[in-house]
Structure 1
Amino acid sequence: MSPRHHLDPATLVSHAAGALSPEMAAVADTHLEACAHCRRQLADAEHVGGALLSQQQPPQAEAQRSERLRDDMLARLRQPLPAAPLHARDEPGESKRDADAMPRPLQPYFGKSWKALRWRWMAPGVHMIRAPRSSGDTLVLLKIAPGKSMPVHSHRGSELTQILRGAYDDALGHFGPGDMADLDSDIEHQPVTSPGVPCICVAALDGPLQFRGWLARKLQPMVGL
């Protein structure tokens, strides 16, 4: 599995600095398990993250230096990296992973087994499991039937969505297993799940969705997203 959509460089820097909520970090770590590209970028970002965390209120000169360092690192992370050697693209034993095993970063929230999940019906073709909150952010597993068109929506905050099984398409492209949708309040989209199998994804949100249609807005309190 070679993901085509990755974590934003700013998200990687925040993760390296320990600034992501536990829910956001769980989704980011799920992507990092599958993506050698982002693991290499995270290693670079960690050189910046520690310095940013250690300086709560630095002197003006140090603050400017830290800002320049962060901007330089973001510029470096946005540069395309050469493809990793074939032997370095996957972790040892990844191909032999138990098909029923939940990704490790999600196990504290949803358990260890796919078969043990207890999905809650939310709408025709849409099921969800909401994790208990450990911060102000929301963490959910979503299972959406094939060929399902979701309501057009934007985001009042940030959203990290990792595709676990199946796929969907929207204005940003095709998202399949391993791909990350790293979205902010500037993005409006309408995911449409691919034919064949349900699309299962895990999403962390730090603010509610903002739906364009009146019906979706009316039903939003029932869904809680």
Structure 2
Amino acid sequence: MINYHPSIEILTDYAAGSLPLAHSLCVSTHLERCHECQQQIRKLEMLGSHLFDQTKTDSRQLSNLKDSFFEKINAQAEQERDSLKIEEEPAEIDWDNYAIPKSLRQFIKKSYDDLNWMRLSPSFKIATLYNEEGGAQIALTRVKAGAHMPTHTHTGDEITLVLEGAFSDESGVYRQGDFINRDASHKHKPIVTKDAECICLTVLDAPIEFTGWLTRLLNPIIRRYHPHSSR
């Protein structure tokens, strides 16, 4: 069961086509597995179409359109959450045989093992999928079962989507399909569950920064490979 989802603001930007491409990729991948957010997107698209059809494009109306749009969206979201409680649940996905998400097949042709992984510790490695010039980095992180990623902070926003396995930190436990959004104020030490390795899709607006006395030596490497650092 998926417990963590994109915010209504992120879903709204996605439905409107105004979300940055790297972030849209994460949302698209989440949507492949999340019945609840699929329904939200359909509602947002219908609501947005209705609002724009009913609104003349003069300057005064356009200035109030965004506020009106979000008010209606939030009301609709509340109704949607209530209705989801009584709707029939979708069929369970066979996670053991789940293939590479469709949205990632442009980067991953056959399997995760075929990627060019950079090992940062005996239990933790990373594979860069795409760097936006001077912008965000799309990457995969891979951590062995029962191991932890070094304690780190964020120098920008980070989106994490769990593709395989599960991990926990000070704020909760995250499993396949969960969508986690962190900002620069957050510091954590993810720990992978003992039953399987954990593979996550990440979008980093700026490099993470390790805080341990030894792992700090990795920070120059992380910065070197992040497009944000070349600005």
SS in 1 for 2:74: helix
Residue aligning to 1:66: 66
Cα distance in 2 for partners of 1:181, 1:174 equals: 11
Assess, with a 3 A threshold, how the Cα gap between structure 1 residues 109 and 71 changes in structure 2: closer, same or farther.
Answer: farther
SS in 2 for 1:34: coil
Residue aligning to 1:163: 162
5+ residue gaps in structure 1? none
SS in 2 for 1:141: strand
Residue aligning to 2:111: 113
Aligned pairs, number: 216
1:85 corresponds to 2:84: no
Give 1:123's match in structure 2, choosing from 106, 121, 124. 121
Alignment of 1:123-162 (within 5 A): 123-134=121-132, 136-162=135-161
Does the 8 Å CA contact 1:167/1:194 hold for their aligned counterparts? yes
Cα distance in 1 for partners of 2:75, 2:190 equals: 30
Cα distance in 2 for partners of 1:104, 1:98 equals: 16
Cα distance in 2 for partners of 1:205, 1:58 equals: 38
Residue 62 of structure 1: CA displacement? 2.3
Q: Deviations over 1:144-166 (max 9, x none)?
A: 01222223333333222111111
Residue aligning to 1:181: 180
Cα distance in 2 for partners of 1:107, 1:200 equals: 15
Cα distance in 2 for partners of 1:131, 1:113 equals: 13
Amino acid at match of 2:125: H
Residue aligning to 1:195: 194
Does the 8 Å CA contact 1:15/1:25 hold for their aligned counterparts? yes
Residue 47 of structure 1: CA displacement? 4.0
Residue aligning to 1:172: 171
Amino acid at match of 1:69: F
Percentage of matched positions with identical amino acids: 27
Assess, with a 3 A threshold, how the Cα gap between structure 1 residues 44 and 188 changes in structure 2: closer, same or farther.
Answer: farther
SS in 2 for 1:178: coil
Assess, with a 3 A threshold, how the Cα gap between structure 1 residues 62 and 128 changes in structure 2: closer, same or farther.
Answer: same
Cα distance in 2 for partners of 1:187, 1:9 equals: 21
Residue aligning to 1:205: 204
Residue 78 of structure 1: CA displacement? 5.7
Q: TM-score, normalised by structure 2?
A: 0.79
Cα distance in 2 for partners of 1:99, 1:114 equals: 14
Residue 35 of structure 1: CA displacement? 0.5
SS in 1 for 2:221: helix
Cα distance in 2 for partners of 1:28, 1:211 equals: 26
SS in 2 for 1:109: coil
Which stretch shows the higher mean deviation, 160-169 or 20-29? 20-29
Residue 124 of structure 1: CA displacement? 1.9
Does the 8 Å CA contact 1:101/1:112 hold for their aligned counterparts? no
Give 1:104's match in structure 2, choosing from 98, 102, 105. 102
Which stretch shows the higher mean deviation, 138-147 or 105-114? 105-114
Assess, with a 3 A threshold, how the Cα gap between structure 1 residues 208 and 66 changes in structure 2: closer, same or farther.
Answer: same
Amino acid at match of 1:162: L
Residue 17 of structure 1: CA displacement? 1.6
Residue 141 of structure 1: CA displacement? 0.9
Which stretch shows the higher mean deviation, 150-159 or 123-132? 150-159
